Structure 1
Amino acid sequence: MEKSRVLVVGGTGYIGRRLVQASLAQGHPTFVLMRPEIGLDIDKLQMLLSFKAQGACLLEASLDDHASLVAAVKQVDVVISAMSGAHIRSHNLKLQHKLVEAIKEAGNVKRFIHSEFGMDPSKMDHALEPGRVTFDEKMELRRAIEEANIPHTYISANCFAGYSCPNLCQLRTLLPPKEKVHVYGDGNVKVVFVDEDDVATYTIKSIDDPRTLNKTIYLRPRDNILTQNEVIVKWEMLSGKVLEKIHIPADDFLASMKDTDFPHQVAVGHYYHIFYEGCLTNFDIGEDGAEATLLYPEVEYTRVDEYIKQYL
């Protein structure tokens, strides 16, 4: 079967650049949106040029220029948006409504994957302020996609390993703790950790698969469904050093939001749902979803202990 032509929007971002690489690796004709708004960001420009050297095609279009966006979309079969929804970086989820309008007008797109890649927002209607804004905006976009009858796949990738494994799930750092580690509650809530390159691999695998059409695909690698305590033990075994554990009750953790910056408040709320409530694993996948590692057992995903070895 001929491979779909793929357009990645946000291709220079944290997940976007991995999606571009995965699309090229899996043999898809790959296009990357190059926005004139890039200005003097030399790092992004050079990354785009490196994609071009690897065989990707750069399509110049602006989210503020509807006609150029429609023209870009008409050249492909699949559109994947990786625009940032992380408040610690940049938060651009609402801009994707312009992409929905362009896809709707173009009328040729066989699959749209918009920027989710975290916990399933449809399970988060109880989410705490201010972090719930992320889920509300993602659900608003889902409604726009479905009202426009755009074929789609939603990707629920859970916790990115780089943000949550080497630091043993600590906030405000990406590095492993040296002496002490904060443990959320009893540390025994099951969480799902996924290597970011694997997120991209599974996402690209899904785009031509009729089993994933108009469904939510959950990434739940069995060996990476771990408690915080289990992640800590893996690090202690690798490093040969036992850390002091400081357990934080739920009320104390939520109280730590007070008088902090907005991104930190968002992160505390999200971590509460993940590490205290267990929102990533406390539900079964229904008929409107599927699990990626079962769909694609041929993918050799990265285990948590393999991932954190590089931080020794």
Structure 2
Amino acid sequence: MAASSKPRVLIIGCTGYIGRFITNASIRLGYPTYLLVRPEVASDVYKAAMVIGFKSAGATLGSVTDEKKLVEALKLVDIVICSIAEKNLNDQVKLIQAIKQVGTIKRFLPSEFGMDPGLMDHAIAPGNKVFMDKMKIRRAIEAAQIPHTYVSANCFAGYFLSGIAQFGRFFPPRDTAVVYGEGNAKVIWVDENDVGTFVLKAAEDPRTLNTSVYIRPPKNILSLNEVLQLWEKKIGKTLEKQTLLEEEFMSMISNEKASLPERAALAHFYQIFYRGDLMFEIGPDGRDTGELYPDVSYTTVDAYLDRYL
């Protein structure tokens, strides 16, 4: 498909963590890319955009709370991808209202990109709040009859794989490693650049309309034990393993001396590494990127870990 025939994409939240990777992918893949940029960060965005060759479209100064500017930006595009923080629930509701008002958006991807909130009604507090908020957004989207795609990207490599799931660490262990329970729960580790690629492909794919898309690179579905074994082979050393039992981990989550964000993050670790909530049979309303885009190359866990040698 020629670049001129590609749908026009508006990215809201381009300065956020995953938003930057989605923006880079949109430009790299040749989509006419528009950014809704708050005036106070515009200078930094423009500088970054020039580095990655931002020539296809442009940026609009404004925000989700500026209805006039938001509507102006929406009228320019076909697809809207939102990657603002989940805590900004009211801003996302305003965005949905504006999309409905404009009425010409062909696809909306709300700010999700983690575990599927539709499957997390059993999640424990305080980690469950983010899933409940995301479900409120989903209900608003569906009530407004906005064409949409929900993307579940599982575990961002920069958060989880960089430290091999050692909570609070972002470099792989060299001496000792904590193993959660038996360490055998399957985890899906995804490089953020690949998240961007799959998000853009799903955004215009007719097969993903009004569905949930699960980013599941086949070679990256590995347990914590399997990733640690890969790392040990690379460094030529066997790490000392410290088993953290489930009841010990639960006491960390309930520790009121810890901050609420830390306890919420621990709760998500619990769902992933003890409950194994990333692995399930995808239902008829979901699609697997491994099946949708088998020819797309991606960064494997094995290759990702090489950068730390």
TM-score bracket for the superposition, by shorter chain length: over 0.9
Correspondence for 2:14: 11
Correspondence for 1:34: 37
Correspondence for 1:119: 115
Residue 230 of structure 1, CA deviation:
0.4
Given the superposition, is the C-alpha separation of residues 169 and 176 from structure 1 closer, same or farther in structure 2, using an over 3 Å criterion?
Answer: same
Q: 2: distance between equivalents of 1:200 and 1:303?
A: 15
Residue 137 of structure 1, CA deviation:
0.8
Q: If the length of structure 1 is used for normalisation, what is the TM-score?
A: 0.93
User: Which amino acid is the alignment partner of residue 154 of structure 2?
Assistant: N
Residue 299 of structure 1 pairs with residue 302 of structure 2: no
User: Which amino acid is the alignment partner of residue 293 of structure 1?
Assistant: G
Q: 2: distance between equivalents of 1:17 and 1:11?
A: 5
The percentage of aligned residue pairs carrying the same residue is 48
**3-state SS of paired residue (1:138):** helix
- Is the 8 Å Cα contact of residues 12 and 47 (structure 1) preserved in structure 2? no
Residue 101 of structure 1, CA deviation:
1.1
**3-state SS of paired residue (2:234):** helix
Correspondence for 1:20: 23
Q: 1: distance between equivalents of 2:206 and 2:58?
A: 26
Residue 49 of structure 1, CA deviation:
5.2
Correspondence for 2:62: 61
Residue 201 of structure 1, CA deviation:
0.4
Residue 52 of structure 1, CA deviation:
6.8
**3-state SS of paired residue (2:306):** helix
What are the superposed Cα offsets for residues 60-91 of structure 1, whole Å, 9 maximum, x if unpaired?
22222212111110110000011134xxxxx4
Given the superposition, is the C-alpha separation of residues 22 and 3 from structure 1 closer, same or farther in structure 2, using an over 3 Å criterion?
Answer: same
Q: 2: distance between equivalents of 1:166 and 1:34?
A: 29
Q: 1: distance between equivalents of 2:85 and 2:91?
A: 10
Q: 2: distance between equivalents of 1:181 and 1:26?
A: 39
Given the superposition, is the C-alpha separation of residues 37 and 136 from structure 1 closer, same or farther in structure 2, using an over 3 Å criterion?
Answer: farther
Given the superposition, is the C-alpha separation of residues 109 and 7 from structure 1 closer, same or farther in structure 2, using an over 3 Å criterion?
Answer: same
Correspondence for 1:82: 83
**3-state SS of paired residue (2:204):** coil
User: Which amino acid is the alignment partner of residue 272 of structure 1?
Assistant: Y
**3-state SS of paired residue (1:193):** strand
Q: 2: distance between equivalents of 1:127 and 1:43?
A: 38
Q: Which of 117, 130, 137 in structure 1 is aligned with 2:126?
A: 130
Residue 247 of structure 1 pairs with residue 260 of structure 2: no
Residue 46 of structure 1, CA deviation:
2.9
**3-state SS of paired residue (1:72):** helix
Given the superposition, is the C-alpha separation of residues 48 and 101 from structure 1 closer, same or farther in structure 2, using an over 3 Å criterion?
Answer: farther
Residue 261 of structure 1 pairs with residue 259 of structure 2: yes
Correspondence for 2:224: 228
Residue 198 of structure 1 pairs with residue 201 of structure 2: no
Q: 1: distance between equivalents of 2:194 and 2:113?
A: 12
Residue 166 of structure 1, CA deviation:
2.4
What are the superposed Cα offsets for residues 181-200 of structure 1, whole Å, 9 maximum, x if unpaired?
11000001111111111111
**Equivalent residues, number:** 304
Q: Which of 146, 152, 157 in structure 1 is aligned with 2:153?
A: 157
Correspondence for 1:237: 233
- Is the 8 Å Cα contact of residues 83 and 115 (structure 1) preserved in structure 2? yes
Q: 1: distance between equivalents of 2:104 and 2:153?
A: 27
Gaps of 5+ in 1: 86-90
- Is the 8 Å Cα contact of residues 96 and 141 (structure 1) preserved in structure 2? yes
Correspondence for 2:179: 183
Correspondence for 2:282: 285
Residue 97 of structure 1, CA deviation:
1.2
- Is the 8 Å Cα contact of residues 33 and 60 (structure 1) preserved in structure 2? yes
User: Which amino acid is the alignment partner of residue 219 of structure 1?
Assistant: I
**3-state SS of paired residue (2:31):** coil
Residue 93 of structure 1, CA deviation:
4.4
**3-state SS of paired residue (1:154):** strand
Q: If the length of structure 2 is used for normalisation, what is the TM-score?
A: 0.94
**3-state SS of paired residue (1:256):** helix
User: Which amino acid is the alignment partner of residue 205 of structure 1?
Assistant: K
Gaps of 5+ in 2: none
Given the superposition, is the C-alpha separation of residues 250 and 131 from structure 1 closer, same or farther in structure 2, using an over 3 Å criterion?
Answer: same
- Is the 8 Å Cα contact of residues 12 and 48 (structure 1) preserved in structure 2? no
